[in-house]
Amino acid sequence: MRNPIFTRRNLFGATAAGLAATSLGACATSGSDDEADEVTVGEDAENPFGVDGSAPLDVVIFDGGFGNEYAVAHQEIYNRAFPDAEITHLATQAIAETQQPRFAEGKPCDVLDNSGAQQIPMDSLVGDGELAELTPLLDAPSYDDPNVTVRETLRDGVLEMGTFNGEVFALNYVFSAWTIWYDAKLFRDQGWTPPTTWEEMLALCPTIQAAGIAPWTYAGQHPVYLYDMLLILAGRHGGVDVLKNIDHLEPDAWRHESVVKAAEAIAALNSAGYFLEGTPGIDHIQSQTAFNERKAAFIPCGSWLPNEQAAIAPADFEYMPMGVPYFEGSVQPGLISAGGEEPFVVPKNATNLAGAYEYLRIMLSKEGAQIFGDTVQAATVVKGVELENPAAQATDQLVANPDDLFQPRFRFWYTGMSDEVKAALGALASGGSTAAEFIDRMQTVADETAADDTIEKFRHDG
């Protein structure tokens, strides 16, 4: 039986710094409440969850790359429908620090954007029974058309990241792609052609250096930004099953030749001097700022990058995403890490459970999705939302083929492996370990996770 590690006793014995630095599960006290309310779908298409219009709503938003302006607009829509509802809005990056104590007390918020460096581990929240299952939301009539369910308004691949063994516990609200970004203006001015293959990229690197620019940078203090780059490089070479085997904790999955080849390629970028000097010591904002200052040509990042850097990037900077350059001979060169991200969850013990579901339904309306897409310059999870931003349009083109979309999942399923891959990637990219040592390190933690019967195991559908 799983031993919950986020109990009331453990919580109040910890410091705020400990909360931020330690991966903690959800609480045993509130998660064991079998009498939590349930939401069902009624016959009123305009108020399918039977929201009490006078009940307050408590919303917590991760104030990161997407900001929180879009959430303010969504709350205005909610208040149009329920003008007497008082909405408490907290925008913060300290998700674990501010919200784990509330879970421990059995008094969580109603809607939580569980994102960022202080994300509460999803495996713990799910395993400890802290979250409401979202099938009622998905089966409800959509906000715009009572003859179309919410589920039917969503793009392919949206729900997978929030699905745990067949049950949906998170609505991932942005259709994000982890890609390689470059400045189209810089490349156009220099006469450089964005590389398609890894070999083309390596051939271009000396030319980039000759222009006084480093070929690459990344968030050295948060090397998890290399996670999708490494895995998609391996998956493009050997096929998506290489990555599914890693997620499924299959024996020797990390020792597959494609994974080894990808690890060797990342290490070789460092040994060739292709990373911006000082990169291992900088954070995501510093690396992104250096990219905006055209000190580096490529940076691995998610779809939130243009919005996060809007106040810093030069006016003529042209964000353009591309897939991870693939090895010649790759069997699935179009593979890309894309799908739903930015997980919104509804705590099982939310005070206003019906209001929380309705809030998510509003977020998934055409108006709500359009507000989000226009505000943050990123593709949305709702079908039919057209965006004018070139970077968002380019991302849409990259993720146009559903057969090439796959999000490596072990980091979200297994906290121990998530912690290990961050440190291991940092060592690999900075020269602190060899590719062989990286592979051994990750295979060891994968084997330990597979052998631990107290850890709930998850699998991809199909």
pLDDT < 50 stretches in the chain: 1-35
pLDDT in tens, 314-358: 999 999 999 999 999 999 999 999 888 899 999 999 999 999 999
Joined tokens for residue 283: 């954070």
Q: Which of 293, 288, 283 is nearest to 307 (CA)?
A: 288
**Residues 6 or more apart in contact with residue 177 via CB below 8 angstroms:** 302, 303, 321, 336, 337, 338, 379, 395, 398, 399
Mapping DSSP onto H, E and C, the string for 351-409 reads: CCHHHHHHHHHHHCCHHHHHHHHHHHCCCECECCCCCCCHHHHHHHHHCCCHHHECCCC
Residue 319 contacts residue 180 (beta carbons within 8 Å): no
Structure confidence at residue 402 (pLDDT): 87
Structure confidence at residue 310 (pLDDT): 87
Domains, the chain, ordered by start: 8-176+339-400 (3.40.190.10), 177-338+413-451 (3.40.190.10)
How many CA atoms lie less than 13 Å away from 22 in the CB half-sphere? Answer: 15
Distance separating alpha carbons of residues 127 and 25, to the nearest angstrom: 8
Task: Give me the count of residues in the chain.
Answer: 462
* Burial (Cβ within 10 Å: 0-12, 13-18, ≥19) of residue 432: middle
Backbone angles phi, psi at 192, to 5 degrees: -90, 140
Structure confidence at residue 9 (pLDDT): 29
Residue with tokens 């964005």: 194
Structure confidence at residue 23 (pLDDT): 35
Residue 339 contacts residue 160 (beta carbons within 8 Å): yes
Q: SS3 for 174?
A: strand
